[in-house]
Amino acid sequence: MLDDTHDAHRRSWVPTANEPGTDFPLQNLPLCTFVPPNDARPRVGVGIGDAILDASDWLPGPNLNGFCALPAAQRAELRRQFVRVLEAGAPTRELFAQRDCALFNPTAVGDYTDFYASIHHATNVGKLFRPDNPLLPNYKHVPIGYHGRASSLVASGTPIRRPHGQLGEGKFGPTRELDYEVEVGALLGPANALGAPVPISEARSRVAGVCLVNDWSARDVQRWEYQPLGPFLAKNFGTSVSPWVITAEALEPFRVPAPAHDAPVLPYLQEPDAGAFDIHVEVWLRASGEATAIRLSRAPFREMYWTLGQMVAHHTSNGCPLRAGDLIASGTVSGPEKENRGCLLELTSKGTDPVRLPSGATRTFLEDGDEVILRASAERAGFARIGFGECRGIVLPASV
């Protein structure tokens, strides 16, 4: 629901929050888990401009699990309080420079589920391996997902070591086809009880906020192991999570209708109104030995075939309990054009069409020393731009 917290004309007493192009204006106020300089206690913070407000008075505790557990109405009221504290004319408070703080995973994630919600990604990948039948027959009827590994979720900036795995019959060694996947993650709100599905009419309220996720993938390992049960060691070696949680309330101005389905959707997945978000996600690569990063892709999240609400409703439809602070991810965000492809597997057509770098070097998959940077934003005329910050990870050589 839109209210005066979304008013684009409101300004903050924090100067950098009013600068054009800032990720964190007064209308955003993303949440994070951070440790300020000269301290050791993790606490909840609010991003504003290039600074962080300590939110311990409102949200005590070491992370955002308590925030996620609040009903949607209480989360919205907290947002209104933060706006009042940080808007122009309010008394100034102590702030911490973001560059001086340590940022961590926003919640203690008990469970992590990764979906496969982009029909463009599913079709592009399907064409590479099954040219005559790229989209499997169940895709348009059921949100496809798999259970990931919460223990290998790492904070943005944590290096990712090239994993070992089986590469074929009798072959074991470091992956030669390390890839990224740009995704949007949802941190889940109040829990549902075991055996109690969340109806689609309530699913939206169970998304406390969203963040950026890089679900790193070893494509050669994946190709060998994924049949008949699906992803396993090719994906559970590391998943990077951005530190900034963009609240569902901050994203209300950017709700749009999801793409129309050309196959019947079962009643439990029929969303009553606009369930998609008009967010654009970007992938940047600072290749090893290169001075600057280049943008590899930019994709529209609004094009996802399944929405976050549908993912929640489907996930719980068999009575599976979700808990506050759990993470679900969208799967690779891709669009209809080549510039929209959200992983190297797609972008390079399985390595046959390399990415060319400014130096003249090329990439088919990631090399040691490469750094992947994810960014995103939501923009709409008449409203302040909402940025997501960054999710970074650099590739380390495989262990000996």
128 and 89 belong to one structural domain: no
Q: Looking at the structure, do residues 95 and 39 belong to the same domain, yes or no? A: yes
**Structural domain for 357, as ranges:** 112-396
Query: How far apart, in whole angstroms, are the C-alpha atoms of residue 181 and residue 203?
Result: 25
Which of the listed residues 104, 129, 152 is the one where a domain comes to its end?
104
Cβ(269)–Cβ(200) under 8 Å?
Answer: yes
Residue 207 one-letter amino acid: V
Residues 127 and 78 in one domain: no
121 given a catalytic annotation: yes
Which CATH number does the domain housing residue 257 bear?
Answer: 3.90.850.10
Residues in the chain: 400
Per-residue pLDDT of the chain (400 residues; tens, 9 = 90+): 899 999 999 999 999 999 999 999 999 999 999 999 999 999 999 999 999 999 999 999 999 999 999 999 999 999 999 999 999 999 999 999 999 999 999 999 999 999 999 999 999 999 998 888 899 999 999 999 999 999 999 999 999 999 999 999 999 999 999 999 999 999 999 999 999 999 999 999 999 999 999 999 999 999 999 989 889 999 999 999 999 999 999 999 999 999 999 999 999 999 988 999 999 999 999 999 999 999 999 999 999 999 999 999 999 999 999 999 999 999 999 999 999 999 999 999 999 999 999 999 999 999 999 999 999 999 999 999 999 999 999 999 999 8
| Residue tagged 């901050």 (tokens) | 250
Q: Identify the burial level of 194 via C-beta atoms within 10 angstroms of its C-beta, where 0-12 means exposed, 13-18 middle and 19 or more buried.
A: exposed
CATH number for the domain harbouring residue 70: 2.30.30.230
Which of 104, 134, 155 is the endpoint of a domain?
104
pTM of the model: 0.97
Q: Are 389 and 30 in contact (CB under 8 A)?
A: yes
Given the residues 6, 9, 120, 121, the one annotated as active site: 121
Query: Exposed/middle/buried for 41, CB within 10 Å: 0-12, 13-18, 19+?
Result: exposed
Please count the structural domains in the chain. Answer: 2
CB neighbours of 40 closer than 8 A, spacing ≥ 6? none
Instruction: Please indicate, yes or no, whether residues 88 and 121 belong to a single structural domain of this protein.
Output: no
The vertex-158 CA angle with 315 and 307, nearest 5°, equals 25
Determine phi and psi for 67, rounding to 5 degrees.
Answer: -60, -45
- Candidates 399, 364, 332, 350; CA nearest to 159 is 399
